Structure 1
Amino acid sequence: MNTRKQQLAAFNRLLDIMDELREQCPWDKKQTLESLRHLTIEETYELADAILDNDLQEIKKELGDVLLHIVFYAKIGSEKKAFDIADVANSICDKLVSRHPHIYGDVKVENEEDVKRNWEQLKLKEGKVSVLEGVPKSLPAVVKASRIQEKVAGVGFDWEKPEQVWEKVQEELGELNEEIKAGNKENTEKEFGDVLFSMINYARFIDVNPENALEKTNKKFINRFQYLEKAAKKEGKNLSDMSLNEMDIYWERSKEFFK
């Protein structure tokens, strides 16, 4: 591993390169905070994919891409005389010190849950009106539901036992089933949302990240279906001409390779 001196030298090299690109490269010169936004979102998702794949080399590369974007934003901020990379770093350092009084102050904590509760209480003291203010509106729904539940739990609004949450899941499933039978589309959608919300809440109680769990299932399904496609093609068959029973034979085989 690199020494702290080497780490700082590498970061300084990145800052120098950013200065040079911003001055000399036609594409880099044109970029704005707004134009970089969608690219940053894309890079973040690519990092998330690499993490789920547990590909450490790819994680390293994607972290570099995200770091470049942070440096890029800071460079634009300095041009606007609003902030620079030192301000960005000091801002997060100050926040970390302030939010960790159990490390940098005299507050005592027993466990991770105490830390989370203190974190949310400190945010309110900093001027936030609601504990839910920090949940970005544009987050994907599953991630947003998780963050909402984590934040309200941080101030004590939570179930006590996993069994209670599971009972809520069963209750919501029953209500969904009633609306489906009644043929009420609007209420069915609402109850389906309640089922998902309660399942995401239950995931937290059994220490499962619902976004990661669903994405792993997505990847597994993709792998199995693509196996089915390739196997059928190898035997000269088109999926559109096959019966469900025929396709199911390949699907069952795929489970041997993608669990």
Structure 2
Amino acid sequence: MELNHNHAETLAELQELIDVVAKLRSPNGGCPWDLVQTPETLIPYVIEEAYEVVDAIQSGDQAAIAEELGDLLLQVVLQAQIASESQQFSLKEVAQGISQKLIRRHPHVFGDVSVQNADEVRQNWEQIKAAEKGEPTPENQQMSAKLSRYGRTLPPLMAAMKISHKAAAVGFEWENIDGVWAKFHEELGEFQQALAKETPERQQAELGDLLFAVIQLARWYNLDPSAALQGTNQRFVQRLQKMEAVVDRPLSEYSLDELEMLWQQAKAQLAQEL
């Protein structure tokens, strides 16, 4: 297949990125920071860059989207570069693998399978995926296997919501909202007791149980806990911005009472702007 001019330029830019990353990882003149990185140390950056891509997409800023996609692409190339240095795999295998997977899982595009709608595409995808991995199809998997995958592959809040929805669908559910509130208060009490008497490990476990109970409340009231927490984070930062806009010295130099007064003023101002 003959490449057009734009495709050739794209491949040239991709090759330059590969070369730049290889240079950064070179023992001869490379970057000390890049040289000490491992696949494991880069995990936080993979997650962070993925979230920054989402934030850019939601903002609608095309320049920011392109920049953040570049940062995410860097993480892919860097992981492949590190793996290639120990002859595990290279970017070639990464690209080849995903291309072949897409072809296999889209027989309605690259084969002779007919589909009527997007639901049939999804069903075919899951069946082909299960066959590739030698696993039961999703409808035949044990519930614990499905939920375990959510816990491994989704952000914690999203995973908890997904797990609780799936468990409720098979009857693992309270009879009414009163039972959910009772569970929340039970977990709150156990968390408070753990803080007073238990080890840090036990305290963390009880905190997890309490958060899971909060997510059950969100599910029963049809609320999105991830969106709720994201909104709270944004409002917190916005209020701090309002506070910093009216002060004449760093916030750390104000008393707690003064900070509370500034906080309430910022909160009221933002409420008026809605």
- Give the alignment's TM-score, normalised by structure 1: 0.68
Decide whether the 8 Å contact of 1:146 with 1:201 is kept in 2: no
Contact 2:188 2:210 survives alignment (8 Å): no
1:120 corresponds, among 116, 123, 126, to: 126
The Cα of 1:111 is off from its aligned counterpart by 3.2
Aligned partner of 1:193 in structure 2 is 212
Match of 2:202 in 1: none
Residue identity opposite 1:135 in structure 2: Y
Counterpart CA distance in 1 for 2:236 and 2:178 is: 28
Gaps (5+ residues) in structure 2?
137-144, 192-205, 249-253
Contact kept in structure 2, 1:44 and 1:66, CA below 8 Å: yes
Q: What's 2:7 paired with?
A: 4
Deviations 1:46-96 (A, max 9, x none): 334433444332232222122122112212222222211111001111111
Q: Which residue of 2 aligns with 1:164?
A: none
The amino acid across from 1:11 in the alignment is L
**2:141 corresponds to:** none
Change (3 A) 1:76 1:193: closer
TM-superposed CA distance for 1:180, in Å, is: 6.2
Partner of 1:25: 30
Matches within 5 A, 1:116-195: 116-126=122-132, 127-128=134-135, 130-132=145-147, 134-135=149-150, 137=152, 139-145=154-160, 148=163, 171=176, 173-179=177-183, 185-186=189-190, 193-194=212-213
Q: Secondary structure at the match of 1:220?
A: helix
Q: CA deviation at 1:193?
A: 2.6
The aligned amino acid for 1:254 is L
**Aligned pair 1:255/2:261, yes or no?**
no
Aligned residues with identical type, % of pairs: 31
Q: Number of residues paired by the alignment?
A: 238
Whole-angstrom CA distance in 2 between matches of 1:36 and 1:55: 26
Query: Distance in 1 between the 2:210 and 2:219 partners?
Result: 14
Q: CA, structure 1 residues 3+51, in 2 after alignment: closer, same or farther (shift >3 Å)? A: same
Per-residue deviation, residues 186-211 of structure 1 (Å, max 9, x unmatched): 499858735524745986xxxx9753
Which amino acid is 1:255 matched to?
A
Aligned residue number for residue 162 of structure 1: none
Per-residue deviation, 1:26? 4.1
Q: 1:174 to 1:19 in 2, by over 3 A?
A: same
CA distance in 2, matches of 1:201, 1:111: 31
Normalising by structure 2, we get a TM-score of 0.65
Superposed displacement of residue 105, structure 1: 3.1
Q: For 2:270, give the aligned amino acid.
A: S
Write the distance in 1 (CA, Å) between the matches of 2:40 and 2:221. Answer: 37
